[in-house]
Each structure stands twice: as C-alpha cells, then as structure tokens.
Structure 1
Amino acid sequence: MAKRRGSGPGPKKDAARGSRPAWWKVWLRRLVVWGGALALLGALALGTAVYFAARNIPSFTALMNSQNGQTIVVRARDGTEIVSLGPSYGEWLRSDEIPQVMKDAMVAVEDRRFYMHFGVDPIGLARAVLVSFRNDERVSATSTITQQLARNVFLNSNRSLDRKLREAVLAMALEAKFSKEQILELYLNKVYFGGGAYGIDSASRKFFSHSARDLSIGEAAIIAGLVKAPSRYAPTADVDAAVSRANVVLAQMRKYGAIGAAEADSVDVSAVKLKPEAGQNSIRYFTDWTLSQLDLLLPGGSFEPIEVWTTIDVGMQRAATAAIKSNAPKGAQGALVSLDRDGAVLAMVGGTDYVKSSYNRATEALRQPGSAWKLFVYLAALEAGYKPDDRVVDEPVTIGDWSPHNSGNSYAGEIDVRTAFAYSKNTVAAQLGNEVGFSTVASMARRFGISTPISTYPSMVLGTSEVRVIDLTRAFAAVQAGGQSVEPYGITKVTGANGEVLYEHEPSRSTQLVPDYIAAGMTDLLQTAVNTGTGRAAQIGRPVAGKTGTTSSNKDGWFVGFSSGITTGVWMGRDDARAVSGLSGGRAPAQAFAAYMRYAVKDRPVEQFETELTLPDWQLEPDDEWLYGDPGEEYYYVDEQGNLIEPGGRKRPQGPDFPIEGELPPQSPSAPGRPTPGSTQQAPQRGPAPPAASDDFLDRATGREEPQAQQRNRRPPAPGQTPFNEAFGN
C-alpha cells in the first residue's frame, strides 16, 4: 500500500523542532539582556550623580571649618554669662595626631570593612537584609562611617528612603574625593558624642579631662561606644551602661585583630578615671523654662548662634537656692518663684537638686494651695462689699453635707474680717464663699491668672483645686500692683551673632482686675496675716504682706507674699504627695521666704503698703445699673449666670485651658467636701450668686481709661504660631 504524502514528521520538521530553544531559555536571555541594559543605565545614572556630588562637595579645609548645631549663650540681667548651651568643639586633631587605638576602636565597632568598601558596604547590607528576612524584623542600621559622615555634615536624621539614597550617593562622592584617612579624620573630629561634645578631643576633655592625643585603650573604647546612643552610654549619665558598651567595643577590637587577647584581657574599663561632673546649679530650672519659649519668640527657626538676655538676678538666685535647701524638711522638695513689679522673674528654683531631678516644680507641678487659696475668697468678698473691719462669726457651720473645721477645732465667735483672714479661719472662709458664690470665687481665681481646673464644690474655698507655684505667685503680684494684672516673663531680648536684635520684650498690656481700693483692702488683710497671724515667721523687719497655706495631713506647705515691689511664692512637699511630718505653711515655707527676701530687698527702699479703703461716694448706695456690666467695655465682669466675661463681651472659654469643673481634683478620702463616688452634688447657693464686679463699677472706682493698642517690637509669628504674650494668657 502506497504511503500517504505528508504523513509522519519528516526529517526537515524534526530538524526544525529540535533546533527551537526552550521557552525558559528565551526569557532568561531577555532577562539578561534587559537586566544588563538597566544595570548599565543605573550605573551610568549613579556614576553621574556621584560625579556631580563630588564636584559640589566642599574642600577638605572647608569641611574642617564647618560646625554643627547652634550655640546659645544665656545671660543674667546684669549681662554676665550664666550658661552656654549647644555644641562644644575641642582641638582639631590631624590624622597622624589621633591615637591608632582610637581609629581601631571606631572602625571595629562602627564599620569593620571601612578600608575595603567604596562608601557603601554591599556585603554588610546583604547580610542585614538576610538577617531581617530570617528573623522577620526590620532591617537594622547598616550605615558605614562614610555614610554617617555624609549624614552628619550634609543631611538630617530622617529615616526616609529618599534620605538614605542621598546619603549613599554622598558617601560614594566623599570616597571619590577624599582618601580613607581624610574621611576618618573628618569623622572623628565631627561625630557627636553627647553632652554637646563634637569630636573626640571635646569628648575626651569632657569625660577624662585631657586631650584625645593621650587616650588609653579603655578611654578610646568608651568614646567609640558613645556613637550608637550618646545619651544612653554617656559615663556621666550611666557608668554601668558606658562600661558595658565599652566592653563590647573591646570584644570587637579583639575579634578583628586590632588588639591581642592578652591586651584585651588586661584592660579594666571600670577603672577608667572619669572627670568629676560639675554640679548643675538650680539656675538650670530657669534656663530650661525660658529657652523652651524660643520657638514662640523666634518663629521660623535658625541655626545661627544667639544670646538670650534674661531677667534672672544671680545673687537672688543663689539666695533662693540656699533658702530652699536649708529649710526644706528632710525628704521633701521645694520650689520658689520671685517676681519683680512688672512680672520679671528674679529667681526660680524648681527643686532641691537639679542634678537628681530636673523636673521644674515651680512651673509644672500641680499642688493644692490650702489656705493660700483664700486670697480669692476674700477678694470676692471685698468686691461684694465686705470691708476688713466688718464683723463675721467664727462658729461651726454646715453647707449641704459639708462641715468645715478650724485648726484645733477652736472657734472665736464674733470677730472682724481682718482677724478671720489673719488666723485663717476655715469656717469664716466657708461662709463668705457660700455667700458670694463658689463660682464667683472660681471666676476671681481665673481673673487673677489661675489656668488649672477649679472645683466649685464648697470645699474649694480651702484650696482643694491644684495650682502651679508661678500662677499663684502671679496672683499675689497683681494684688501688690494695686489690682493690675502681672505677666511673668524671663527673656528681655534675643540677639544674633552680629548683635542684631531678633526679639525684644515689650511690656504686656495691663488689665485692671479689681479696683485699687479692693487691692488695698486685700493688702491690709495680707499684712495682718504676717504681723499677727499665721505668717509671723515671714517677717523681715520691713512691711510684708502674705498668706500661708497647709493642706490636709501636711502634704503641702505654702507661703506667698510681697514686700518692696518683689512678690515671692514658696511651696514645699513630697513629689509622691505623702505627708511630711511637721510641714505647715507658717513654718518652713515662711522661713524660706524670709531668708530669701532679706537678701532680695536689701538694696530697695522700705515701702509702706497702701491699705486705705477710700470708697467712692456713688458706691455707698448702688442701684441696679451698677450690678451688671456692659459687655462693650474693657473690664472683666461676671454675668447673671456667674460666667466670667472678657473685655469685648467674650465669654471666657470653659474648655481644657479654662475649665471650672464641678468635681474635686484627686485628694485624700477624708478631705472635707469630697462627694461620694458617682455623686453629682453641687454646692448649695443662697439665691443667685452676686457679680464679682461690673465694668461701670471698675471704671468709676479707678478712673481708668482704655489703653491704646501697643505694637510689639518683634518679628511676626509664623502662620499657626501663638505670639509670646498671648501664649501666656495676656
């Protein structure tokens, strides 16, 4: 049978089928071709980027003379330098002056293939990626010494992909332009070691009191170990952590042959002699407080060196520090703020020891003021019509479910207002608060600068609402100023490197908080409290007005007062709010006040207080038009619902900045007037609360005219930033 044509594969078809490459070989060939092309293009792009980066990198000499960070010099009111913050640079050491052991230690712990790579370490990067995949964690830091130098000199520390790519390009450009020895010299003279120290010479002098030319193996290991985390491994902060990290450096040096086993074993890092740490005196509480305001005063930021001229008086600061340290009970902390007439901070102590605790209790701590709070109770009473000679009855009283008691459960019967205040009679304060309205007392405290939450329960009249020392001192300063508001400030001006004035303090717009005759009446009460009452320990041989404060179980002791234009507030207590045996406002705080004020006023003339209560004739028979203010005028007043109204008719906000809450702050379960859990009890009132003061009332009493708008001589704030005076409640 004849074979059909075309049947079977045939020799030609078989040959063609046998010569066709497999599909995977085709794709492999394409991958190699296209991959090679892309790699070539990438290499060309990278080479071009490195070339142009290398051309634009400054010369070695220029890099030597460049500096990192900003220097800030803080000066006292007399111009003397009190502290210099920012970078500290030691002597520049050439490569041949740097001990080889320092170079070996840094290379061993930071970049062991430093002498083999081209700025970026592909082997180290590949190993880090492999470890991250194996352990299912983020890729660890793989920056070489050259990359760290590029970041420190040219970039910031953002952990973004863009920054890492630029860092890699700059590192390769540095390698292309400089030798390894030059790169290591730049790095060791510029890297940050903590405490403001840049470069190994600055670090050596800071920690060991000698030049880096004389570093031992142990000292070099300590310095090399700091780069990873300067604040954590600094020997002045944590000796054990510094020693542990230095031993890791020694182990790396031994592992990679920089030192022998015998030499490594002979090094005792713990025996390295450290430079004694200079004690940080209490003035740092003040500088910390003032420098934190620079972002508001100098919006936009700058890295130029600046000088900050402040209000602090060095002599008064020393006296304040000594007064707190010598009078604070054992185990207790102390804080002090002293203000001049215009609000300038003359002294500030935030604790007994800045080195042990930098927490500023003068500006940050919230503590119950006890009877020092009665300032606002009696101000409200005086504004409601009481006078120091008016008669009140000191007797047991019950307001709702609350029955306050006097110290020692003693009652004097019928006495005048002056005596009740001088001897801090709780029952009288409770009756006055109930009569004028607890919300009125809270509004008075708001008016005088208390910005923390205020309770309106009856026990608030005894100081259960927490306050800051600086705020309560500010309130007393306003009384001394005749009822005018006082704005605390610490910076008078800021100047640049060439002497240009970048900021200059302008007096804040002052507001009449109460008529001057009410301030005079309050001064009368405060002076009596020192002359014959609970504040006798605060006497200094010239007129003093002030008030003591002691909280339940002796947890807090206060004395706040003024003399010869200086207002000073003192607080003492424990940070954990535990009781302090024997602590009361009339003892240690009043004694510290007196010890400080004797020095503070020694060069000031003796001033007698204005305590004459001269009421205007029209006030003797007020009618309804004087009971409530006109919202269009320029004084604070309280409307019919007890709301504090600002100038221009704006209701004072009741949000986080200015709350007047209906609950007590945390306190002892035995504290009087505290509601039971879940209770919504409100303080009972005898009818609607009377107003604190009307606009017309204050206008007639003081004759005060509307002040002209003042222009502040400073740079305008950036959008969204708060001007300095507004930020502090002006």
Structure 2
Amino acid sequence: MNDWFHRQGGRDRFIDWLRLDSQINSALGEAWSRVKDYWNAGSSYFARFQLVGWRRLLNEFASESLTMLFGGFVVLYGLALPAFEEFDESKFLTGRYAVKFLDVNGNEIGRRGILHNDAVPLEDIPDVLIKATLSTEDRRFFEHYGVDVLGTMRALVTNVQANEVVQGGSTLTQQLAKNLFLSSERSLQRKIKELFLSFLLESRYSKREILKLYFDRAYMGGGTFGVEAASQYYFGKSVRDINMSEAAVLAGLFKAPTKYSPLVDLAASRARTNQVLDNLVEAKYYTAGQVHSARMNPAKIVEARTSTSPDWYLDWAFEEVQRLADGKNQFVLTARTTVDLTLQRQAEEALAAALRKEGRDLHFTSGAIVLMETDGKVRAIVGGPDYGESQFNRATHAKRQPGSSFKIYVYATAMENGFTPETIVRDASRSCGNWSPSNYGGGGGSGSRIPLWMALAKSLNTVAAELSFVVGREKVVEMTKRVGIEGVKKTCSMALGDGGITVLEHTGGVATFANGGKLAKPYGILDITTSKGDLLYSRERDEPPPRQVVSRHVAEEMNVMLNRVVTEGTGGMANLDFTNAAGKTGTSTGPKDAWFMGFTGKYVAGVWLGNDDNRPMRSGVTGGHQAAPIWRDLMTVAHTDMNIPTIPGLKPHPRQIAEQQRLAEVRAAQVAAGIEPAQLAGDATKTQAVLPSKTRDALKVLVAALRKANGQAEAAPAAASGPSHAPSSPIDPKQEAPQPATRPEAPKTDRRATLLDTSRDDLSVPAAMPPAAPPTKSPAPAAAH
C-alpha cells in the first residue's frame, strides 16, 4: 500500500495531497467565476433588447407564426409529394400520335390522339366558345393561380343554400389536372393531389397554354376528345366555323358529356345550352339581345347515330400502340385490333345491369371486366360504369386486392413442388410474426384433414397461407412474374391476396392455365401501318411464340381443381350448363373488392366489383355471390355455338358431346341426301356475306337465349359424392388419399341445386363430405375467400 503514497526517486517522499486539492478547487472556482461573468455580460447585453407591453405581444405572435409557418410548410411538402409523383409530362405528348383503329375485318371503330392536319391553334378557336367556356366553368381563370378561393367559397354558399351540389368550385386548371393525371374518385386525397398539380401546371405553363390543353384534352362524349373532334362529331364541321348556339352546346358538355350530349338527351342538352347563354349575359360578355338569336335558332345536330365506339378498349389500345411504336418516329398510324364489338357491348351491359340491380343496396358503385381468348387475345374491356362520367380505366390501371382469387398462383406453386389435387392437408396454419391466418367468418381453422382440391374449393385461408410457408413465398412471387403479373411483394398474408393487381394482369395470369401453361400475355394489336401503308408492326411477324411458363401437367391439374371450385365450391353461381367452367372467387377484407376469375375452353374473363374511393361494401358481399353471376351471364351470351374447345385436363362436357353427335348425324343425313359438305360450306359463306352484321349479332343473341332456355329445361340433378379421407399429419405433399387407377371425374351437379345450396360464398360442399368447421374471415389486410 505504501506504493500509493510514495514516488520512486533519489529518495522517498510523500505526495502533497493538500496542495493538489487546493489547486483543483482554485481552478474550478476560477472557471465558475468566469462563466458567471460571461453570463452576466451576455444578460446585460441582451437586456437592451427586452420587449415589454404590446411590443412583446407582437414579438410572441411573430415567433409563433413563424413556427406554425414552418410546420405548415413541412405538412404541405408531405401532402405535395404524392401529387408530384403523379405528374408525368409524357401525358402531354399523346398529341404526337394520330391513330385510327380498325376491327379484325378492317372496319374503322374509332380514333385516338390529336389529328395533325386538324389541330386548331387557340387563335383559331372562336372567341364565343372561349367566352362561353370561361363564363360557365371558370370566370376568374385569368386572375387566379390554379385555385379560385373566391369561386370556391361562392360555390359552397350556393350549394348550402340549395341543400345540394348545384355549382362546382373547380377551376379549368384543376379540371385539366384531373383529366391528365388523376381518376374521378371522390376522395380527399384526390382533391389534395388535384390542388398541388394545379399549382404545378400554373407554374410551368401560361394561361393560354393551359386553356389550349383544356380544349384539346377534355372528353366531349361519343368517344371524342377536344373541341375540334366534338364539333366534327356533333355538327359535321370544324370548330373554326361554329356559331354562338353551337358554341353554347360544346361549352355545356364539359361538365357531363354523357348527360348533356344532344345525341343522348336532346331536352337536357337544350336546357344546358340555355344555361350557358345565361352565363354569357351574367358575365357581361354579351347582352341579352345578342344571345336572343342563339336561343331562337338552336344548333342543328347532324343525323342522330348511336356511338358504337369501344372507348375503354380503345384507350388501352392507344397505350399499346404508343408502346409498340415508341422510337420508330412514326406518328400517323392505323392499327388493327382484336376487339369484338358484340362482346364489348355485352360486357358493358352485364356490368351495368349488375350495378343497377344490386349496386345501391349492396353499396358498390364501380366495376370492371376483361374478356379475352385463352391465348391472351383481348376481346372486350369495360373500365368502369360510365365512360362519360369518368374515363379512368379501372380494368387496366386500378390495382386492387385480389383476395382469394390470388390463391390460384399459390396452389400452382404448390403443385410444382410435389403437391397433387388429392394431397391431404390440414385446416390449420402457423403464425407469421404477429399475424395469424383465419378463415372466412373468423377462427383459425378446424384442424380437419381434407384433400387439397377441397381446400381450394372451400377457399380455406389457413391452407393457402400454410402452403405459401411450406413451398416458400419467394417461389409464389416468382410464379406471378412468370405468368405476367408484376409488383407482388413477399408478405405474411400474400397468399390471401393482400397486394394490388389490375384486372387485366389477373385475367392474363389466369389465362395461362386455360392455355395449357403457355404464357397468355394480353394483347390487342394485330398490326400497325403508317400513313404511307408501310407495315410498322405485325404480331405474327414480330412476336415470338408463347413460352411454356407452367408445365402442361401442372396446368391440367390446376384446371381440374378450379373446375371443382365451380361445381362443388365457392364458385357455384358461375356454373354453366352447356360447357365446362373453371375459376376462383375472391373477396378482400371489408369487403372492399369482389372478384371472379374464370374460363371456359374458349374465353377467359375477370370481373371486379367495388368502390373507387375504397369504401367497404355491404357486409355479406362476396365474389361468389356478386361477381360470379356477372361472369356467368356474360359467358352465356358470349358463346354463340357449341364449338368450344375442351379445357386442358378436363373431359368434354356431356352437352357438347351430345351436340357433336347430333351435328354428325345431321351431316350424315345431308350427305346421304346428296348434299356435299363443300356445298354446305359455300352456302353458309354466302349467307354470312349477305346478312348484315347487326342481323348476325341479333341472331347470335337469339341462339344463345334459346340454348340457355333449352338447357334449363333439360338439366337434371346429379348425385355428388366426395373422395374418401385418410388420416394425415399436417401438410405433406407425399401423403395422399387413396386414388383409383384413373383420375376420378369431377362429380356433376345441377346448377339450380347449387344455387339453392350456396347460402354463403364458401359452403357449396358435397353432401357426402364430412362436416367441416364453418369458414371464417381473416383479420389480414386481404382476408379473402
């Protein structure tokens, strides 16, 4: 211990601890004294700036205002970011292209883009049309900076007084921002984006440029965009030559082109035109005497004609043409498409009928349909309930949660990794983090052991989730990429369809299985020619043959299971009595989305129902009850004859076999009577050539209706029985139920009996099956079935 108190040296001596303590105390004291001196000096200096009385209050107010201003700037910046992400200057360049679209037979069906030789500069647009538009849509256009605060307040007061929305507060700039970048959904988020996009447009473009863009991009009804196209469509002349009454008609179309179109409702159009003329007088652009002549001489509309333009389809086809023609420096083009106008009309009518019948009661206002052939040839696209109300294409651009319809890809991945339709699985699943899957209605699964096909038919969430964990969620993502679906992310609940995909992508992915495992990427353009007649693009020449992205065996086994979803599971209301059908229902949490994805041997169709603002629908809405009947009705009228290929993996439908036998007997009798087959074919060709297209369409509809009525009269219930069960451990691809030497044919059920037995979307189970726990609803983001 002495070493602590001595230092080595010439001689031992003690450390002077008292002196050291004194030095430390002295240094600390001096330092503290200096700190106090500095503090006092600083306080004395700043005391000269001390405010009292009203000056202090003003200073405090300025300080708080600065703080709030900074906070508000941060909030505004956060709100503006989504709007800036929506801003895409390529939207302004669509006018580079002028595309004429033809059907398969070469008949013109519509145009898109701004025609170069018909483009009208702002200087040539009549002054009366500009004044009619400004007086009706935005009187302070040249005074505000994108948003008219005074106009908005005035509209708000007017609407409150009328107790309904009678006047809008959106400026021309806001309307242009919505038309170019946003959908028409009524939500606060969309209005905020619209606000910031308006400021961005005002900062980058002059008032004259914004006005010209508005006149060129606004939808004017009848499939026309811009005032020049509308003038040609309604009056048969250029917008340069219109008079006051005609200008009032066009200005009245901006608010609701379908509602106020003179070809749709002449009385409503006349009333709207008079309102525009009143606005011209109120804005003091013209006197009452000057507009009197326009009132007495209303615009003459060219002969009324029903527009058959497939607008939803053409919007998507226009995007496809721009993609295919990009970088080839050709802008005036003619494109031959795959659209079927009859199927397009039937798809639109099917969706409209469902919205009218159930939309109000079940709280869904929107929907979308895509119909294609099994190789990806798109025949019809319905992007919403009313093209005139909103041109946002929900079929191609809206990403919605697919719910349990996504399980198709999960089960296909499982089939690639050793599972079969008869593999015994258990109605249970592990947890993933804080999330645990549960079935429709609640509950984590009964723990019962059932074949894999039955788990898909009953749409058990627990089994789908467990399959994704067993085979690996990375493999499921890879499967979706192979069939043409991008953007699926690996999450705990991905097996239940918690991500967003479009109806077009989903339909193409499902079509891969209907195509025997070959990629069925959706396409709508057969060829593109330039204004000189040169072939710019040909699908037959420029596209490689489809790749086999899923093995034929896996595709066939999936088709067998998907067929049993329709005959014995949640898709019972999609069952067809004249041909085999396969598909999958889907319902997301809320419910916010209802789906049915299905196919026959000829057509593949996807149906989605929901709300644009993502509001939940009424409790009890399911894909099996609401979307599947739309699919069934569309398929019933789409198939106009029994010449329907057999779905890979299934046997021909009994009705098709009977029809083929009947036709064979008819041909044999005709040959016996001395009528040659070639003569019959020639007569048929002549008949088709003589009959007008509308007559042929009407006959097709009549044949379909007769066939459907005949099928309902002859349908007979068939007994349904299920395979035997064997005890099993949790999911094991190698453990299967006993199988006969040949694959058992799916039990046949009568569609009417199925409808009666299906009180919920997931309870169509054969009577011979052991009782299982009622399906339950998952708390996951996409707890679907």
Q: TM-score, normalised by structure 1?
A: 0.54
Shift of 1:281: 6.1
Q: Match for residue 344 of structure 1?
A: 377
Cα distance per residue 1:374-404 (max 9 Å; x no partner) = 1111111111101111111124754443222
Residue identity in the other structure for 1:82: I
Shift in alpha-carbon separation, 1:302–1:230, aligned structure 2, 3 A: farther
Q: Match for residue 478 of structure 1?
A: 512
Cα distance per residue 1:24-69 (max 9 Å; x no partner) = xxxxxxxxxxxxxxxxxxxxxxxxxxxxxxxxxxxxxxxxxxxx99
**Secondary structure in structure 1 of the residue aligned to 2:624:** coil
**Secondary structure in structure 2 of the residue aligned to 1:415:** strand
Shift in alpha-carbon separation, 1:423–1:213, aligned structure 2, 3 A: closer
Shift of 1:419: 0.5
Residue identity in the other structure for 2:627: P
Residue identity in the other structure for 2:341: V
Shift of 1:77: 2.0
Shift in alpha-carbon separation, 1:436–1:348, aligned structure 2, 3 A: same
Task: Please show how residues 677-696 of structure 1 align to structure 2 within 5 Å.
Answer: none
Shift of 1:593: 0.9
Shift in alpha-carbon separation, 1:493–1:247, aligned structure 2, 3 A: same
**Secondary structure in structure 2 of the residue aligned to 1:292:** helix
Alignment of 1:378 with 2:414, yes or no, is: no
Residue identity in the other structure for 2:314: T
Paired with 2:595 and 2:622, the residues of 1 have a C-alpha distance of: 7
Task: Please show how residues 97-496 of structure 1 align to structure 2 within 5 Å.
Answer: 206=233, 218-219=244-245, 222=248, 243=276, 247=280, 251=284, 263-264=289-290, 266=292, 275=301, 283-299=310-326, 306-328=333-355, 329-330=358-359, 331-395=364-428, 398-408=431-441, 409=443, 411=446, 413-454=448-489, 456-496=490-530
Residue identity in the other structure for 2:482: R
Shift of 1:341: 2.8
Q: Match for residue 554 of structure 1?
A: 591
CA contact (8 A) 2:438 2:778 kept: no
CA contact (8 A) 1:306 1:496 kept: yes
Shift in alpha-carbon separation, 1:592–1:413, aligned structure 2, 3 A: same
Paired with 1:497 and 1:365, the residues of 2 have a C-alpha distance of: 34
CA contact (8 A) 2:248 2:273 kept: no
Shift in alpha-carbon separation, 1:214–1:305, aligned structure 2, 3 A: closer
Q: Match for residue 571 of structure 2?
A: 535
Q: Match for residue 633 of structure 2?
A: 595
Shift of 1:73: 2.6
Shift of 1:267: 6.0
CA contact (8 A) 2:131 2:280 kept: no
Farther-moved stretch of structure 1 (426-435 vs 509-518): 509-518
CA contact (8 A) 1:233 1:241 kept: no
Q: Match for residue 568 of structure 1?
A: 605
Task: Please show how residues 581-660 of structure 1 align to structure 2 within 5 Å.
Answer: 581=618, 582-603=620-641, 605-611=643-649
Shift in alpha-carbon separation, 1:381–1:213, aligned structure 2, 3 A: closer
CA contact (8 A) 1:89 1:198 kept: no
Cα distance per residue 1:352-391 (max 9 Å; x no partner) = 1111111111110010011001111111111110111111
Q: Match for residue 50 of structure 1?
A: none
Cα distance per residue 1:140-163 (max 9 Å; x no partner) = xxxxxxxxxxxxxxxxxxx999xx
Residue identity in the other structure for 1:431: E
Paired with 2:467 and 2:330, the residues of 1 have a C-alpha distance of: 56
**Secondary structure in structure 2 of the residue aligned to 1:339:** strand
CA contact (8 A) 2:245 2:295 kept: yes
Task: Please show how residues 642-721 of structure 1 align to structure 2 within 5 Å.
Answer: 672-673=779-780
CA contact (8 A) 2:371 2:606 kept: yes
Shift in alpha-carbon separation, 1:390–1:247, aligned structure 2, 3 A: same
- Aligned positions, number: 457
Q: Match for residue 525 of structure 1?
A: 561
Shift of 1:600: 2.5
Shift in alpha-carbon separation, 1:415–1:89, aligned structure 2, 3 A: closer
RMSD: 4.8
**Secondary structure in structure 2 of the residue aligned to 1:494:** strand
**Secondary structure in structure 2 of the residue aligned to 1:478:** helix
Shift in alpha-carbon separation, 1:399–1:327, aligned structure 2, 3 A: same
Q: Percent identity?
A: 30
CA contact (8 A) 1:250 1:264 kept: no
**Secondary structure in structure 2 of the residue aligned to 1:597:** helix
Shift of 1:586: 0.5
Paired with 2:279 and 2:595, the residues of 1 have a C-alpha distance of: 48
**Secondary structure in structure 2 of the residue aligned to 1:359:** coil
Shift of 1:264: 3.3
Q: Which runs of 5+ in 1 are unaligned?
A: 1-67, 92-101, 111-127, 129-158, 165-190, 255-260, 614-669, 676-730
Shift of 1:548: 0.5
Shift of 1:209: 7.7
CA contact (8 A) 2:126 2:242 kept: no
CA contact (8 A) 2:589 2:781 kept: no
Shift of 1:80: 2.7
Residue identity in the other structure for 1:520: E
Paired with 1:393 and 1:387, the residues of 2 have a C-alpha distance of: 14
Cα distance per residue 1:122-144 (max 9 Å; x no partner) = xxxxxx9xxxxxxxxxxxxxxxx
Shift of 1:303: 7.6
Alignment of 1:513 with 2:620, yes or no, is: no
Residue identity in the other structure for 2:494: M
CA contact (8 A) 2:372 2:378 kept: yes
CA contact (8 A) 1:493 1:503 kept: yes
Farther-moved stretch of structure 1 (332-341 vs 409-418): 409-418
Cα distance per residue 1:592-644 (max 9 Å; x no partner) = 1111112323335244434389xxxxxxxxxxxxxxxxxxxxxxxxxxxxxxx
Q: TM-score, normalised by structure 2?
A: 0.50
CA contact (8 A) 1:396 1:427 kept: yes
**Secondary structure in structure 1 of the residue aligned to 2:351:** helix
Select which of 97, 100, 107 maps to 1:73: 100
CA contact (8 A) 2:104 2:339 kept: yes
Paired with 1:492 and 1:573, the residues of 2 have a C-alpha distance of: 32
Shift in alpha-carbon separation, 1:199–1:568, aligned structure 2, 3 A: closer
